[in-house]
Structure 1
Amino acid sequence: MTPGSEVVRGYGHQAKLASASSQANGLGIILAPLAVEAGGSYATGGWNVATDVWGVLDEAQRLPWSFTPFECVGPLKFGMTHDQVRAAVDGVLSIGVSQGYAGSEVWAEFDLEQRPDARFSGPAVTVYYDQSIGLAGVAVNALRGPQVTLAEIRLVGQVPSRLEDQFTDYLTVHGKELRYSQSADPCSSHLGLALRVQRAGDLVLSRPVMVTEAWADRCWDTSEGCIPEKEWKTFEW
């Protein structure tokens, strides 16, 4: 893959349209080889992914991670380089798509590797980099991401209103401020945590975004905060 290029996933005609668009506008987007197989799955790069894009992992199937504000999300420590991030999740998550040049990545998406105990594969974790910091933000996919806990509160794939109640209680007990994004996502700059939502078929489930301390100020602000616009616009898949 050419440094700085981007892989586009797609199904059938959508993938072809993406490929045609990349050729027309010269954006340097590379489409991975795609072949539809019997049983409704597609193969790309030698591995198969179920096409049930709304499949949600059971709790027992999720990787167990914990969140320590401003320090780490599971094995991912804020400040890591892209290569260090890849090494930290090797064997359980694999790089799916990234943007930026080698050594100057802007963001990267990691897929859940196929496992016998997990029916669904696909995007699980999205990481964001700051050129002066390294790893600065981690967003966890509501459908297939690891289960990240904060003081025994499950942050991933939860009913938003229930999680909001738990989060509010936690912040009250610990004397920390609760803020809301312009999309009404509960957030706390004191923790560097924004509780976004993501579509899961006819439902929405929680998609937490955790950031380094340098990004925490106004982490609830979709226009002036450091969390990239790409993340605030992510709702599907």
Structure 2
Amino acid sequence: MAAAELREAVDGPTRPAWALVPLESVGPLRFGMRINDVAAALPGMIELRRFQADPHFPRVLGAQFGIGPEAPAVHTYFDGADRLFCVAVDAARGPQVTLDGLELTACVPAELEQLLLDAFRSAALGVSYGPRGNPGVNGLGLVVRVQEIAGGVVTRPVLVGRDRADRCTDDWEGPIPECEWVGRQWTYPGHPELWPPPGYKPNWYDWHPPF
């Protein structure tokens, strides 16, 4: 599907708009909120499930919110103190996250990547890439993942708060839970399209990715 057709297919009239305040909040969600406060801040959504988000840090809790039982829209992640530190927005049903007018949700990956490269060229806010090829801006607490939807592959923004922003693009040792790195990857020569790649057995013991 061509880039223009892909954007038209995913830009629905009912997609809510959330403004990103880097390192502080995304839409109604402020980093540091407790899970009950997050649920109260999403009145149009229901909590779908909770899950262990990382195989190496069992106290990291994930909570999925959506507009219906099979319609996830937002994934939220909480530390051992029940404080929100990471938000990921579903490309198909999640809000349109914007940063100073720049749309981050459900965009054509190559187009958004170029816009980020053009917008953030300084040393302090430059685009960096994790070992698996996913781009982001550490100074904004922003990582851009991709998600496969009907018709193609589009962007899925993942945001963290101030105390987790350092090296957030590092998809091996950074602060974002492992489950957010599983699945479709940003496409680059030399990088597999899926993580884990076929035939690779990660050291996850008895943990299974929740989605």
TM category (shorter chain) comes to 0.7 to 0.9
Corresponding residue for residue 98 of structure 1: 50
The structure with the larger Rg is: 1
Q: Could you report, residue by residue, the CA deviation over 1:183-204 in whole angstroms, capped at 9, with x for unpaired residues? A: 3221111000001100113511
Query: Residues 128 and 59 (structure 1 numbering): CA distance in 2 closer, same or farther, change over 3 Å?
Result: same
Q: Work out the CA distance in 2 between the residues paired with 1:219 and 1:203.
A: 26
The residue aligned with 1:180 is: 129
Computed over aligned residues only, the root mean square deviation of the Cα atoms, in angstroms, reads 2.3
Q: Which has the higher contact order (CA 8 A, sep 6+)?
A: 2
Alignment size in residue pairs: 172
User: More displaced, 69-78 or 199-208?
Assistant: 199-208
Instruction: Note if 1:110 corresponds to 2:65.
Output: yes
**Structure 1 segments (4+ residues) deviating >6 Å:** none
Q: Contact between 1:82 and 1:105, CA under 8 Å: does it hold in 2?
A: no
Task: Name stretches of at least 5 consecutive residues in structure 1 with no aligned partner.
Answer: 1-55, 115-120
CA contact (8 A) 1:148 1:156 kept: yes
In structure 1, C-alpha distance between the alignment counterparts of 2:62 and 2:151, rounded to whole Å: 28
Distance 2:28 2:123 in 1: 25
Q: Note the 1:117-136 alignment, pairs <5 A.
A: 122-132=71-81, 134-136=83-85
* 1:87 paired residue number: 40
Structure ranking higher in strand proportion: 1
What is the distance in 2 between the residues matched to 1:180 and 1:158? 18
Among 118, 135, 146, the residue aligned to 1:197: 146
1: CA distance between counterparts of 2:97 and 2:142?
Answer: 12
Corresponding residue of 2:108: 159
Decide whether the 8 Å contact of 2:35 with 2:82 is kept in 1: no
The Cα of 1:59 is off from its aligned counterpart by: 3.6
The alpha-carbon deviation at position 57 of structure 1 amounts to: 4.6
TM-score (structure 1 length as normaliser)? 0.67
Ranges in structure 2 where 5+ consecutive residues have no aligned partner: 1-8, 53-58, 185-193, 195-210
For 2:40, the aligned partner's letter is A
